[in-house]
Structure 1
Amino acid sequence: MTKENKTIDPITLQVIRGAIETIAEEMAHVLFRMSFSSIIRESEDLGAGLFDKNFNTLCESESTPMHIGSIPGYLHGIEETLDDGEWYEDDVVVHNHPYFGASHTPDLAIVIPIFYEGELVGYSGNTAHHIDIGAATPGLIIDVHDVYAEGMLFAGTKLYRKGKRNDTMWNFIHNNSRAARQLVDDIEAQIASARLGVKRFVELLDRYGKELVFNACNQLMDYSEKMLRQRIEAIPDGEYRAEGWLDDDGRNRGQTLPVKVCVRVIHDRIEVDLTGSSPQTPTAYNVPFEGSTKVAAFAAFRKLLLDTATSDTRVPSNQGSFRPISVIAPEGSIFNPIAPTSAEARFTQCNMMIDLIIKAMAPVLPDEIIAGSSASISFASYAGVRPDGEYWVFLEVNEGAYGGRPQSDGPDSIDNLMANTRNNPLEDLAMHIPMICERYELRDDVLPGAGKHRGGIGVVKSQRILTDGIITHESERHTNVPWGIFGGKEGAAGKCEIYNAASNAPTREMHSKFHGLEVKKDDVMAYYSPCGGGYGSPLERDPQKVLDDVLDGFCSAEQAHEVYGVVLDLEAETVALDATSRRREELEKAG
């Protein structure tokens, strides 16, 4: 815990807490409202917060967990690489180097130092995912050899020095992106957001005084740490293991990549050991350790132990919630690659890691865990060249589904585990780029995992491209089906297809990830996300819920009879209760 500070009374403490949390939310709001690219403006693939001079997170916006937890890593990397080797008032730094703390290269961080009465007291920072930073292919990359193919690398680079704009660097950025206008304007939005954070925090210091504000922040961090340690102490000490696999590395097809998780509970702390997971890959399918692997572990245990919906008290999101968690990943593994290996396509591995942590903890946290989720992310880049020679680039995150939960079904068609992005309005898509959405609905080709609480239903989205172009797609779980738990049944794997809407050419079954695929006008990419596994025995499911699912098309009458043991009168739309009781007795005896 932090050094002992003067105790702040509870009312003042909550006032300071509310103030700094509001600052973080206001920063995020400014960022997504001012941005031009849809991945930031609509999907809100971003994070914002305030940090003390030792790089501790004081507060964070309620955005994507991957962004916020990573900024301390960025700050440590900036410390190693900072232009001039020193911060000055009104400096503005951009940073994205994955081997100096960044989450991955498209997530540019903007950091501005906070000076108060001539003293450096902290930092205002944010990160956001940009649509193109000049990588080997537009928007996303997978099958490249090293980090230098990922696009522009910034390490402690000052866009402003003592308030003076570095025009040479801005020109460099503008001249090295396929979507230069959007990139520059989005960076400007990040700067506006970070400057607002500086302004608001200085106002807070003026009002309450530096000593009181930082004492309160330290007390809030200690409180978050204490609460997490208390939850960990309630778990029996021991090692809890789970393992799974990833489909491939985007190049070497048919070669699955093992992911092994060992969670060690040691009194009031947790150690996540990834030893035994796949060696680093020769493609970009690796995970930066500081900026992504560690952050995934932090997020996993915040979800399990500090969830705001299930906790009696709301615990602040700050550095204190990171302190009890440590991570081990051998150098040279997929979760801790060695430079200059590429490490841009790193999200699905983190989701699988979190899903396995949840599975590992099932024996000791049965009322907190869920069944297997889609535990992936469908991240697609569509791009092409307009008649005037200008590129258009569109990034899209497609939804997945959660596994069944202890008290309810898994949510359908939703970002899950490590992500918190939103979907793009279809009208926005049609207004700005040459694409049409042909289909966007819940999957009807497979059924979710059966259980007392069934798994969530994945999404199917079909996007038609109206020019020749390029598609890169990162996803997972085409071969590793989300598991059921405590008697629940497994869910369904994902899939991806490409066909041409204007011809009779055969449909192409695609791998879960592919890089720089050249497509023709009227080609359609149809993505089907995995469906979640079931929680608990299907024979314990409320028969009325089974009927509702059959009427909604989420369950077949055959599955209702064979798996759930529910006998239905579909003409009357009722459950035959006596026949259902007898059928369930038959299935229990047979099983």
Structure 2
Amino acid sequence: MNEMTPVAHKTVDVDPVTLQIIGGAFHTIAEEMGHVLYRMSFSSIIRESQDLGAGLFDAKFQTLCESDSTPLHIGSLPGYLHGIQESLQGGEWHEGDVIIHNHPYYGASHSPDIAIVIPVFYQGELVGFSANTAHHVDIGSATPGLIIDIPDVFAEGMLFAGIKLYEKGKRNEGIWQFIKYNSRTAKQTMDDLDAQIASARLGERRFRELMDQYGKDVVLSAADQLMDNMESLMRKRIAEIPDGEYFAEGFMDDDGRNRGVHLPIKVCVRIKGDEVEVDLTGSADQVPTGFNVPFEGSTKVACFFAFRALLLDSYTSETEVRANEGSFRPIKVTAPKGSIFNPEFPAAAEARFCQCNRMIDCILRALAPVIPERVNAGNSASLSFAAYSGVRPSGDYWVFLEVNEGAYGGRPHSDGPDSIDNLMCNTRNNPIEDLGMHLPMVCDRYELRDDVMPGAGRYRGGIGVVKSQRLLTPGSITHENDRHDDTPWGVFGGTPGACGKVEIYNADDPSGRKSVEAKFSGLQTKAGDVMAFYAPCGGGYGDPLERPAEKVREDVLDDFCSRDWAYEAYGVVLDDKLRLDAAATEQRRQDLRAQRPAAAE
């Protein structure tokens, strides 16, 4: 038998109890893989932020299970597998193979997200794959850690397409040596790859153990049933949305080079029966920098995530939600070739996350009129991804990647969460103690913003973070960010939130602080220079005049709301000692309602 040929299993009916046991086992395996990966990794972006994903896949590259980590990593892995199939070294899978892959035009989410894939053989037959991805600190790109203003995909650093780190169990020393001499953080990169290999090997072993216990046919049949069940559940939820076309749009600040040139984001959500299409026609053409989005590895995955989050929330669902391939099947994604969401080779596509988050934000906005109880108001819907770097006296590079938090918009029954990764990010913050112990940096400020107010509403928007990071030695900063110009939207009477901003100054002369663009590449810094990031604040949900006056007063006492904003936006009157004047508040709210334009008949 050709070792590349996937096994055809006998389909058997799996009883409900066994089905649930195998489903739970799949999820446990994926979670264990994720734990091994971040526990064994050395770079903080994996070890602390957990910018990773892990799971098992069948021989058709369908997702069987996924770790509870960053959504973009998991949904992208089938794309990686298809890309590996096209480019696989030698053209065949063998037992003992370990594949490394990160090519954005062969299914990868973007080049720093390196996948490790191990084929799983059972009794000599290929039955599936164990795989993971993780964001690596530096892959030898034009600027340390992150890149934006580059001419093409080849400037992104090392590109691997279906390369075997191990072939039939034998280590490919040439590839490892290549990695060693092509990364600014070679030791971290190689150690993190070893952690990924350990994680994937664990998944491989657990997959075989599951078949030893229940039999190959039962396990693979259960996997098929679990995916079919998830597909049926997703179709049922889609069918609850009225048929029609729903539109929303926004824009990105710029492409990181052509300042002041906004990039339109246009979304049409097309519901027909139990299927949905996300059509991105009309969005910006691809740009000449790295601010493009790989279609298979990121654009499609962002749409999958949007509907899984909207319709299959495990906390509110009355039935058990199994995260697998079935949830992707009813969702179609359309993006014209040559657009920012489907660039043509060899366009660079490393800085792609802000666009994904904004596209998801637009999906929420488009569907708000028909599923108001499932959406929230405008989120920060961006990403602050900063790369700080420098060279030690020994001549070695240090590179630190940091993902900063944003904020959600107000929700149907509660305020938007403050200072939290939102939508697809789901990474954790890096402890500032860890920063000070290992790198020549100090965090001078880390708190909620107090220079602007979040969107007012029956439920207010979340408050963004402000974080000021100071470099103690000369270095450089690259920052991937957006939403300095397009304010997070309010919904159902709520007011818009607030845009973000970034400031650069030196700690010895704070008066010289200056605002800079959201995204910039390779900014050279001297000792004492500080980057202060201010995240956008979420929009409000519902009429601000319906927010209980005492709740507004509590926000003022907590410094979440100013006394003036309580009066202007909420119609709440507080005296000099911040006591509520109920009669004056009622009158003020009546006056504000009277000032509103009459509703159109």
1:392 aligns with 398
1:470 aligns with 476
Query: How far does residue 308 in structure 1 lie from its aligned partner after superposition?
Result: 1.5
For the aligned residues, what is the CA RMSD? 1.2
Paired AA for residue 379 in structure 1? F
Tell me which of 569, 585, 591 is aligned to 1:580: 585
Contact 1:457 1:532 in 2 (8 A): yes
- The question of 1:209 aligning with 2:215 is answered yes
Query: How far does residue 570 in structure 1 lie from its aligned partner after superposition?
Result: 5.0
- The question of 1:152 aligning with 2:162 is answered no
1:286 aligns with 292
**SS in structure 1 at match of 2:570:** coil
Paired AA for residue 47 in structure 1? G
2:364 aligns with 358
Instruction: Provide the C-alpha distance between the structure 1 equivalents of 2:545 and 2:514, rounded to a whole number of angstroms.
Output: 39
Instruction: Provide the C-alpha distance between the structure 2 equivalents of 1:173 and 1:423, rounded to a whole number of angstroms.
Output: 28
- Mapping 1:217-256, distance limit 5 Å: 217-256=223-262
Paired AA for residue 102 in structure 1? A
Contact 2:148 2:521 in 1 (8 A): yes
Q: CA-to-partner distance for each residue in 1:293-345, whole Å, 9 max, x for gaps?
A: 00000000011111112222231110000000010000000000000000000
Ranges of 4+ aligned residues in structure 1 off by more than 6 Å: none
Q: CA-to-partner distance for each residue in 1:392-418, whole Å, 9 max, x for gaps?
A: 000000000000000000000000011
Contact 2:278 2:334 in 1 (8 A): yes
Paired AA for residue 116 in structure 2? I
Paired AA for residue 196 in structure 2? Q
- The question of 1:376 aligning with 2:382 is answered yes
Aligned residues: 589
1:264 aligns with 270
- Mapping 1:171-182, distance limit 5 Å: 171-182=177-188
- Mapping 1:97-108, distance limit 5 Å: 97-108=103-114
Instruction: Provide the C-alpha distance between the structure 2 equivalents of 1:365 and 1:528, rounded to a whole number of angstroms.
Output: 31
Instruction: Provide the C-alpha distance between the structure 1 equivalents of 2:391 and 2:300, rounded to a whole number of angstroms.
Output: 38
Contact 2:450 2:560 in 1 (8 A): yes
**SS in structure 2 at match of 1:200:** helix
1:405 aligns with 411
Instruction: Provide the C-alpha distance between the structure 1 equivalents of 2:13 and 2:452, rounded to a whole number of angstroms.
Output: 57
Paired AA for residue 117 in structure 2? V
Contact 1:375 1:416 in 2 (8 A): yes
- Mapping 1:538-549, distance limit 5 Å: 538-549=544-555
Tell me which of 174, 195, 210 is aligned to 2:201: 195
Paired AA for residue 426 in structure 2? N
Contact 2:43 2:188 in 1 (8 A): yes
Contact 1:109 1:125 in 2 (8 A): yes
Where in structure 2 are there 5+ consecutive unaligned residues?
A: 1-7, 597-601
| TM-score normalized with structure 2 length | 0.97
Contact 1:5 1:219 in 2 (8 A): no
- The question of 1:11 aligning with 2:20 is answered no
Instruction: Provide the C-alpha distance between the structure 2 equivalents of 1:507 and 1:580, rounded to a whole number of angstroms.
Output: 40
- Closer, same or farther: CA 505–579 of 1 in aligned 2, 3 Å: closer
- The question of 1:44 aligning with 2:38 is answered no
Q: CA-to-partner distance for each residue in 1:407-446, whole Å, 9 max, x for gaps?
A: 0000000000111100001110011110000000000100
Paired AA for residue 208 in structure 1? Y
2:35 aligns with 29
| TM-score normalized with structure 1 length | 0.98
> 305-314 vs 245-254, which deviates more?
305-314
Tell me which of 75, 85, 91 is aligned to 1:79: 85
Instruction: Provide the C-alpha distance between the structure 1 equivalents of 2:13 and 2:308, rounded to a whole number of angstroms.
Output: 26
Instruction: Provide the C-alpha distance between the structure 2 equivalents of 1:18 and 1:543, rounded to a whole number of angstroms.
Output: 46
Instruction: Provide the C-alpha distance between the structure 2 equivalents of 1:132 and 1:467, rounded to a whole number of angstroms.
Output: 20
Query: How far does residue 3 in structure 1 lie from its aligned partner after superposition?
Result: 11
1:554 aligns with 560
Tell me which of 325, 339, 344 is aligned to 1:338: 344
Q: CA-to-partner distance for each residue in 1:463-511, whole Å, 9 max, x for gaps?
A: 0001111100001100000000000000000000000012366212110
Where in structure 1 are there 5+ consecutive unaligned residues?
A: none
